[in-house]
Structure formats: structure tokens, C-alpha cells
């Protein structure tokens, strides 16, 4: 098993290219199930989660080729479709559930295992299945599999009121509704850029969708969808993560491909902490002002609020801030597992339920730590970059799910980071 060894290295500088969004790509790929014509994605990230989704779609009958060193994914689903998504693949990744809506829409039936993913809290499928049932599907859970059938062989449009703004459920229902008979209205829909990106792609395929980016999305079902070529939106979580490198270590870094509109709430907190962010012709330039980081309070919220996927990385920054910061996690109830690992490095953190209180210390110190999930992994690397001495991050396989070439990118701005085989 690999480890990442990080040595505190002082200020960083240079440029980091930001990849296409993992979460967007994982929603875009199942859209190939909706059409017999080819769907090609460009600016795709090269990650293990993308390989897992490729494996799943191929098991369902899709033909998939990775081109241009994996940055282009060419997909075609013109043959016979297998409507069973097996546990052995689905258990590896939460986003596997996004094949349920497209399979039901195209074939009228599906058998999909309950999904897996990072252990960051309960993420039930009820909101997905309730929405599909309102569209005329009957769904039963038997032996860990959802057995779904569309009444009369085709889903019907419906008004669906989500109890909370679920990104995955919005994506699943939106895809299912593109081929449903009649009009579907999703109220309390998620507003994330990944939702807008999926809607843009589906429109290129011939779908009729309005309101994406707002809390009400309207989809008028069509009889068939065609092919398309679509560029995956920039990954706002990778963007925010690498913006924190100069914030934590000092220096100045330009994140190529970054857009302020993707991370406005995050940038507001960086500004409050004393970090300068400037939009350039090529991306976002981030520089740390002189003096210590100021403590800030952070509450995670659905987009356009502060992203839960940047909470762990932000905590790493605030460990050495001047004063006391309070981080409130309102999306997932089990997402402070990185806190004890940061404490091993000398951080002063108290966790009570969904709230973490961070009292800034002068300096973190390197230590052996263990990654507990994807975002926690990179938060420990960032902390190690500013710590005194050597930090050894174990269980870094989580990283490969969400960050491509993380060592290469951080080394390129002067960080002392290397990946080695555990002895």
C-alpha cells in the first residue's frame, strides 16, 4: 500500500492546472445510457472513480474508449442493454446509483445494488426512489438490490418536491425525466455547477430542460435523445484544494482554469482569513498576505454555500490561524474524522456532534497520520506542507478517487511531496 511523505517546505509558487470535475463527469457518463448515439466527454479527469464508472457502464453494455491519455471519454450504448448493476462494482462508489434513472428511462426496468463510497455519513437512496415512484415506477428492495419497473414500460412526468436539495437525486431524476412522457418539475432541486453541466450536456443530446442552476428545474420529456460532445466543467473542489496550498504555506499560485463563479463562498472565507484571490485571464491567482491567518467561522451548505467537500482542507488552514475558528458541518454527520489525525500533528481541535472548534497553534509538527476519506487525505497533505518536519500519510488510495497527479502538481509549485510504497 502506498504512502505519501510530506516535508514542510516553506512558500510555494507557480501554476497548477485544474482538472475536469470528478462529480460532474460521474453524472455525465451514465447519460450515455439514454441514447443509442455516441456521447463524447472532453476535459475528463483521470481518476479511479472514473475507471469504476467505466467498468460499471461496460457491464451494462456500453462501449467506452479512453482517448488523449484519458482526458477524452468516447462512449456508445447502441447495443443490447444489461439492466442489472451488480454489487461488486456498485459497492465501490456512491455515484454508481446514477445508472438507476437512465436505465429506467430507456429500458423501463432495472435492478441496481445499493451503493458504497466514502464513510462520511448516511446518504440514503429514499429521495431517489421516492421521486422515481412519483413518475410511475414501482421499486422494491430485495437482498440489497433495488428492483425497479416503470408502469406501462415508460416513466411519466410528475411534480417532485425534494425534502432537501440532493445533488445525486436531482441528477438521477433529471436524467430519468428526459425520456419520460410529459413534464417533470423538480422543486428544491440542487443548484451545483455539476447540475448545470449535466443539463447542458443533456440539452446537446436533445433534452428539453429549463431552470437548472435554480431551485426549480422543469423537464419536458422527449421520445429519444441523440449523441453529443461535451466538455466537463472545471473541478471546483480540486480548485479550492490547490488554492489552499499558498494560503497554508505562503507564496503565490495561479490555478489554471479556475473561475470565481465556481467558488465564491469559499473565496469569501479566504478573503476573511487574509488571503488574496484575483481572477486572471487563465484562472485564479492566490497569494497569502503577510502576517498570520485570521480565524474564521465556516458552515457547510448546499451550493452556493460553502462546500462540504472543502471543509477538511479549510480546517487544515485554520489549525494555525490566529484565534479560534468554528466549523459547522450541516451536510454529512460523520465528516470530522480528519480532526484526530490533525491533532496528532499538534492541532487543537474539539469536536461535538456536527461542530468542530479549532484553536490556532503557532506551528503543526509532522507525524504519521491515516487518511479516512477522499477529502481528509488531501487535508493531511496540505497540513504536512506547512508542518515542521516529516508527515507520513497512510491509506492514500482514497486520493486516487478524486485527485489526478496530486504529487506532480504539488511538486510543481515547490512542495516537498513524494509517493512511496509502504515498507
pLDDT tens, 137-168? 999 999 989 999 999 999 999 999 999 999 99
Q: Calculate mean pLDDT across residues 316-325.
A: 97
Task: Kindly state the average pLDDT of the residues 359-371.
Answer: 96
pLDDT at 116 over 90: no
402 pLDDT above the threshold of 90 = no
Phi/psi zone of residue 91: left (φ > 0), alpha (ψ -120 to 50 degrees), beta?
alpha
Ligand-binding annotation for 309, yes or no, is: yes
- Main-chain dihedrals φ then ψ at residue 261, nearest 5 degrees: -60, -20
**Per-residue pLDDT band at 124 (split at 50, 70, 90):** low
Q: pLDDT category, 36, cuts 50, 70, 90?
A: very high
Tell me: is residue 82 an annotated ligand-binding position.
no
* Among 77, 118, 201, 249, the one annotated catalytic: 118
Residues pairing with 110 in the sheet: 148
The pLDDT of residue 118 is: 39
Instruction: Tell me the per-residue pLDDT of 8-32, one tens digit each, with 9 for 90 and over.
Output: 978 999 999 999 999 999 999 999 9
pLDDT band at 335 (very low <50, low <70, confident <90, very high): confident
CB 259 within 8 A of CB 234: yes
335 annotated as belonging to a binding site for a ligand: no
- Check pLDDT > 60 for residue 414: yes
DSSP summary character for residue 293:
P
pLDDT band at residue 291, thresholds of 50, 70 and 90?
A: confident
Before 41, cis peptide (omega within 30)? no
pLDDT at 333 over 90: no
User: 288 and 251 in contact (C-beta within 8 Å)?
Assistant: yes
Which residues, 6+ apart, have CB-to-CB distance to 154 below 8 Å?
108, 136, 179, 180, 181
CB of 409 closer than 8 Å to CB of 381 = no
Helices 374-386, 311-318: crossing angle, 10 deg rounding: 20
Q: What is the pTM of this model?
A: 0.92
Ramachandran quadrant class, 50 (left: phi over 0; alpha: psi -120 to 50; beta: rest)? alpha
Read off the pLDDT band of 117 (50, 70, 90). Answer: very low
User: Per the annotation, does 271 bind a ligand?
Assistant: no
pLDDT for residue 274 is more than 60: yes
**What local confidence, expressed as pLDDT, does residue 122 receive?**
40
Q: Is 77 noted as a catalytic residue in this protein? A: no
- pLDDT at residue 123 is higher than 80: no
Q: Which fold has domain 234-421?
A: UDP-n-acetylglucosamine1-carboxyvinyl-transferase; Chain (3.65.10)
pLDDT digits (tens, 9 = 90+) for 337-357: 899 999 999 999 999 999 999
22-231: CATH, from 3.30.980.20, 3.65.10.10, 3.30.365.10, 3.40.50.2300: 3.65.10.10
Rg for the chain, CA atoms, rounded: 22
3-state SS assignment for residue 191? coil
Segment 59-111, tens digit of pLDDT: 999 999 999 999 999 999 998 999 999 999 998 888 899 999 999 999 999 99
**Whether the domain at 22-231 and the domain at 234-421 fall into the same CATH topology:** yes
User: How far apart are alpha carbons 275 and 189 in whole angstroms?
Assistant: 32
pLDDT of residue 400: 84
Mean pLDDT of 110-120: 69
pLDDT of residue 120: 34
User: 67-102 in b/e burial notation, b at 16+ Cβ within 10 A?
Assistant: eeeebbbbbbbeeebbbebbbebbbbbbbbbbbbbb
Q: What's the rounded Cα separation, in Å, for the pair 201 and 205?
A: 6
CA distances from 113 to 97, 141, 153, 166 (A): 8, 9, 21, 19
Nearby residues of 323 by Cβ (< 8 Å), 6 or more positions away: 294, 295, 359, 360
Q: What are phi and psi of 202, to 5 degrees?
A: -65, -35
Q: What's the pLDDT score for residue 361?
A: 97
Write down the mean pLDDT value for the chain. 94
- 181 vs 401, which has greater pLDDT? 181
Length of the chain: 423
Residue 370: strand pairing partners: 394
Q: Tell me the average pLDDT across 234-249.
A: 97
DSSP, res 211: -
Grid cell locating 234: 472545471
Domain boundaries, the chain: 22-231, 234-421
d(CA 187, CA 170): 9
Tell me whether residue 22 is annotated as binding: yes
Q: How many CB atoms lie within 10 A of CB 50?
A: 24
Query: Between the CA atoms of 281, 237, 35 and 214, what dihedral angle is there, to the nearest 10 degrees?
Result: -80
Amino acid at each position: 500500500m502506498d504512502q505519501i511523505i510530506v516535508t514542510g517546505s516553506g512558500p510555494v509558487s507557480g501554476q497548477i492546472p485544474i482538472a475536469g470535475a470528478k462529480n460532474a463527469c460521474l453524472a455525465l457518463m451514465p447519460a450515455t445510457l439514454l441514447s443509442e448515439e455516441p456521447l463524447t466527454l472532453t476535459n475528463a479527469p483521470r481518476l479511479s472513480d472514473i475507471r469504476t464508472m467505466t467498468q460499471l457502464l461496460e457491464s451494462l453494455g456500453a462501449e467506452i474508449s479512453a482517448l488523449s491519455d484519458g482526458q477524452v471519454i468516447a462512449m456508445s450504448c447502441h447495443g443490447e442493454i444489461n439492466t442489472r448493476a451488480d454489487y461488486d462494482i456498485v459497492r465501490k462508489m456512491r455515484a454508481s446509483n446514477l445508472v438507476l434513472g437512465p436505465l429506467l428511462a430507456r429500458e423501463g426496468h432495472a435492478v441496481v445494488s445499493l451503493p458504497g463510497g466514502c464513510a462520511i455519513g448516511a446518504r440514503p437512496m429514499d429521495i431517489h426512489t421516492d421521486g422515481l415512484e412519483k413518475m410511475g415506477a414501482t421499486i422494491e428492495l430485495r437482498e440489497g438490490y433495488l428492483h425497479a419497473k416503470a408502469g406501462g414500460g415508460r416513466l411519466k412526468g410528475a411534480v417532485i418536491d425534494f425534502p432537501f436539495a440532493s445533488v445525486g437525486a436531482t441528477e438521477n431524476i433529471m436524467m430519468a425525466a428526459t425520456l419520460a412522457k410529459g413534464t417533470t418539475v423538480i422543486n428544491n432541486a440542487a443548484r451545483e455547477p455539476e447540475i448545470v453541466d449535466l443539463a447542458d450536456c443533456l440539452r446537446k443530446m436533445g433534452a428539453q430542460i429549463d431552470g437548472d442552476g435554480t431551485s426549480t428545474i422543469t423537464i419536458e420529456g422527449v421520445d429519444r435523445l441523440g449523441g453529443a460532445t461535451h466538455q466537463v466543467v472545471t473541478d471546483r473542489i480540486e480548485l479550492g484544494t490547490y488554492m489552499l496550498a499558498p494560503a497554508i504555506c505562503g507564496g503565490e499560485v495561479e490555478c489554471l482554469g479556475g473561475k470565481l463563479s465556481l467558488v465564491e463562498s469559499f473565496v469569501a472565507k479566504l478573503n476573511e482569513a487574509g488571503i488574496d484571490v484575483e481572477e486572471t485571464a487563465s484562472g485564479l491567482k492566490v497569494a497569502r498576505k503577510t502576517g498570520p491567518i485570521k480565524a474564521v467561522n465556516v458552515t457547510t451548505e448546499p451550493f452556493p454555500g460553502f462546500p462540504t467537500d472543502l471543509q477538511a482542507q479549510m480546517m487544515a488552514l485554520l489549525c494555525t490561524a490566529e484565534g479560534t475558528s468554528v466549523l459547522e458541518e450541516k451536510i454529512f454527520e460523520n465528516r470530522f474524522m480528519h480532526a484526530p489525525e490533525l491533532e496528532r500533528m499538534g492541532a487543537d481541535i474539539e469536536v461535538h456532534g456536527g461542530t468542530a472548534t479549532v484553536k490556532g497553534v503557532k506551528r503543526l509538527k509532522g507525524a504519521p497520520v491515516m487518511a479516512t476519506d477522499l477529502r481528509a487525505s488531501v487535508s493531511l497533505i496540505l497540513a504536512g506542507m506547512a508542518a515542521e518536519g516529516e508527515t507520513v500519510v497512510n491509506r492514500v488510495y482514497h486520493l486516487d478517487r478524486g485527485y489526478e497527479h496530486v504529487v506532480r502538481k504539488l511538486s510543481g509549485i515547490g512542495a516537498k511531496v513524494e509517493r512511496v510504497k509502504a515498507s
